[in-house]
Amino acid sequence: MDLVVVSNRVARAKPNEPMTGGLAAALLPVVEKSGTIWVGSSGRVRDGAFKDSFAEIQSLGTGALAMLDLPAAHYGGYYEGFANSALWPALHSRTDLIRATQDDYESYREVNAFMARALMRFRKPTTAFWVQDYHFLALGAEMRELGVTNPLGFFLHTPWPSRNVISGVPHHRELIEAMLAYNLIGFQTDEDCEHFSDYLRSDLGLHVENGLVTSRYGMSRLAAFPIGIDVDGFVAHAVRAAAHPDVSRLRKSLHGERLAIGVDRVDYSKGLVNRIRAFDRLFEMRPSLKRSVSLLQIATPSRENIEAYGNLQDDLSRLVTEVNGRHGEVDWTPIRYLSKGFSQTVLAGFYRSAQVGVVTPLHDGMNLVAKEYVAAQNPIDPGVLVLSKFAGAAKELDTALQVNPHDIDGMARTLATALAMPAPERRMRWEAMMEKLRAGNIQHWFASFVEELEKAHGASEKPPSRFGWTSISGRKPSEMIFRQLRAATSSLH
Ligand code: G6P
């Protein structure tokens, strides 16, 4: 069996480098242990004079990583344009930030078509393709155009908004029709899946029942697959990280002061401005907390060529300076604001050093920082997670302290509650969250999607698929993936 996973961003195979965004970090531990080929953008571009797509191929665990140079003429319109200035804002219910031209849309479609052609070299009769995220909504349809009949799955890492919000995207109808070329379309939450089904019913006039919809491509299945993390791997990182020099420097610098931590890309969906305001309010409401708690905010610069992101960086720098100026002392800084990324190991050590994890997005597909913060805690003395009710993770992590990120005073009060919470209550809440994390870890997510993809493809093909799941070893791919992942995780204990 062969599985090819496709995403715009891939994790480079260097273990101690910072990774941008939840998607690449989440996929790495499963992709490298499941013998999968992971195809994505190299981040470099190449002009159209070269007819064939260029791929740099590296080995990645038991599989491989293939990084493609994308066409120079279309990269900007695809990445900064349609994907991140039309789709991303709409998916996060910020239609006011949609900026996209017809050229951007055409570039987006060109890059999807380019990727479809490039994927042909990885296709065997036994290959299943699993496409990730909003960069490639139309990739499945482009592959079908090329005659591909293999199983095609798609998973959206962001939220899917209500129908009137998604209708703010130019060409929404064409794109969503194209998505139905996938046999299986996965979402983070049931709510996202329902929003998508509503759109299919009301705007495309399709009949959706029990998560099944029939279009000109055949039958597609729609379902929620909440993404998890590599719990055991992250626990191991957190224990190991105690010895890391960055982590011991952080601990030494605290002089007994307590720490709250936030780790985010600088993105308007993450609610960073409201979070800093909530800390401002906390110090106003409870002056006794000054010098006894500070916020470490790691704010990794992101998509800096897009105006909305540049403006946000400026706003945040101004706000942090203002709040530190108002409450700080010669020997105490309320908000430590760092504009850089850290490796997973160092982050795990930072999370374990913090008594409060602050994850307060305005909208977020899942938010894996919330899950990583929980996994990194010391079981005897765990910290408290303060979590936005608008993060997908809030559906599972219901013993976190949940907040409305638009209510600054409410967030300040909840932060004070978190800081005062006695150890038995912290342990009780933490244990309940760990149970959920273990039940829905990344290995489970990966294997169950592949299993459903196999079923969805089988059900959509009549007569039964030419796709030979049993042709190599007599075992179905999902069984093999389960076995490989199980073997890989048990070696982590
Ligand atoms: C989110 C998206 C990912 C993306 C990541 C980082 O997690 O869902 O698809 O890779 O942000 O964004 P970037 O634009 O830097 O890849």
Can you tell me which atom of ligand 1 is nearest the CA of 132?
A: 9
Based on the fold, state whether residues 238 and 203 are members of the same structural domain. no
Write the Ramachandran bin of 27: left for phi over 0, alpha for psi from -120 to 50, otherwise beta. Answer: alpha
In a domain, 48, yes or no: yes
Q: What's the pTM value of the predicted model, to 2 decimals?
A: 0.94
Helix, coil or strand: residue 304: coil
Strand-pair category, 2-6 with 127-132: parallel
Based on the fold, state whether residues 300 and 310 are members of the same structural domain. yes
Tens digit of pLDDT at every position of the chain (493 positions): 699 999 999 987 555 677 767 888 888 888 888 899 999 999 899 987 556 677 899 999 899 999 999 999 999 999 999 999 999 999 999 999 999 899 999 999 999 999 999 999 999 999 999 999 999 999 999 999 999 999 999 999 999 999 999 999 999 999 999 999 999 999 999 999 999 999 999 999 999 999 999 999 999 999 999 999 999 999 999 999 988 999 999 999 999 999 999 999 999 999 999 999 999 999 999 999 999 999 999 999 999 999 999 999 999 999 999 999 999 999 999 999 999 999 999 999 999 999 999 999 999 999 999 999 999 999 999 999 999 999 999 999 999 999 999 999 999 999 999 999 999 999 999 999 999 999 999 999 999 999 999 999 999 875 443 333 332 333 454 555 555 555 544 433 3
**160: Cβ–Cβ under 8 A, 6 or more apart, which residues?**
91, 166, 187, 192, 193, 195, 196
Query: What domain count does the chain have?
Result: 2
What's the Cα-to-Cα distance from 64 to each of 31, 33, 54, 56, 58, rounded to whole Å? 9, 10, 15, 10, 6
Name the residue at shortest CA distance from atom 8 of ligand 1. 157
Q: Which domain holds residue 303?
A: 233-439
- Cα–Cα distance measured from residue 462 to residue 125, given in angstroms and rounded to the nearest whole number: 17
Based on the fold, state whether residues 150 and 272 are members of the same structural domain. no
Question: Ligand 1, from 20, 263, 269, 359: best to mutate by most atoms within 8 Å of Cβ?
Answer: 20
Based on the fold, state whether residues 199 and 309 are members of the same structural domain. no
Catalytic machinery residues:
157, 364
In a domain, 493, yes or no: no
Based on the fold, state whether residues 421 and 293 are members of the same structural domain. yes
Can you tell me which atom of ligand 1 is nearest the CA of 157?
A: 8
Dihedral sign for Cα 92, 94, 95, 99, please.
Answer: negative
Based on the fold, state whether residues 348 and 428 are members of the same structural domain. yes
Question: Ligand 1, from 6, 75, 133, 137: best to mutate by most atoms within 8 Å of Cβ?
Answer: 133
Based on the fold, state whether residues 297 and 215 are members of the same structural domain. no
In a domain, 307, yes or no: yes
Question: Ligand 1, from 5, 8, 9: best to mutate by most atoms within 8 Å of Cβ?
Answer: 9
Please report, to the nearest 10 degrees, the dihedral formed by the alpha carbons of residues 112, 116, 122, 123 taken in order.
140
Q: Which of 422, 439, 456 is the last residue of a domain?
A: 439
* pLDDT score for 17: 72
- Ligand 1 center from residue 492 Cα (angstroms): 28
Query: Tokens representing 371?
Result: 């899950």
Around ligand 1, the residues with Cβ closer than 6 Å are: 9, 20-24, 133, 157-158, 302-303
For residue 107, give the nearest of 36, 187, 171, 13 by alpha carbon.
Answer: 171
Can you tell me which atom of ligand 1 is nearest the CA of 158?
A: 8
Q: For residue 135, what is the DSSP state?
A: G
Q: Which of 439, 460, 475 is the last residue of a domain?
A: 439
Based on the fold, state whether residues 36 and 136 are members of the same structural domain. yes
Based on the fold, state whether residues 364 and 482 are members of the same structural domain. no
State the alpha helices, DSSP H only, in 286-343.
Answer: 307-327
The phi, psi pair for 68, rounded to 5°, reads: -100, 140
- Cα–Cα distance measured from residue 383 to residue 356, given in angstroms and rounded to the nearest whole number: 5
Q: Cβ-count burial of 102 within 10 angstroms (0-12 exposed, 13-18 middle, 19+ buried)?
A: exposed
- Cα–Cα distance measured from residue 52 to residue 39, given in angstroms and rounded to the nearest whole number: 16
Can you tell me which atom of ligand 1 is nearest the CA of 20?
A: 6
For residue 9, give the nearest of 46, 31, 38, 34 by alpha carbon.
Answer: 38
- Cα–Cα distance measured from residue 277 to residue 403, given in angstroms and rounded to the nearest whole number: 14
* pLDDT score for 487: 52
CATH of the domain at 369: 3.40.50.2000
Based on the fold, state whether residues 184 and 331 are members of the same structural domain. no
pLDDT tens for residues 98-152? 998 999 999 999 999 999 999 999 999 999 999 999 999 999 999 999 999 999 9
Based on the fold, state whether residues 253 and 389 are members of the same structural domain. yes
* pLDDT score for 54: 78
Based on the fold, state whether residues 385 and 453 are members of the same structural domain. no
For residue 162, give the nearest of 95, 226, 108 by alpha carbon.
Answer: 95
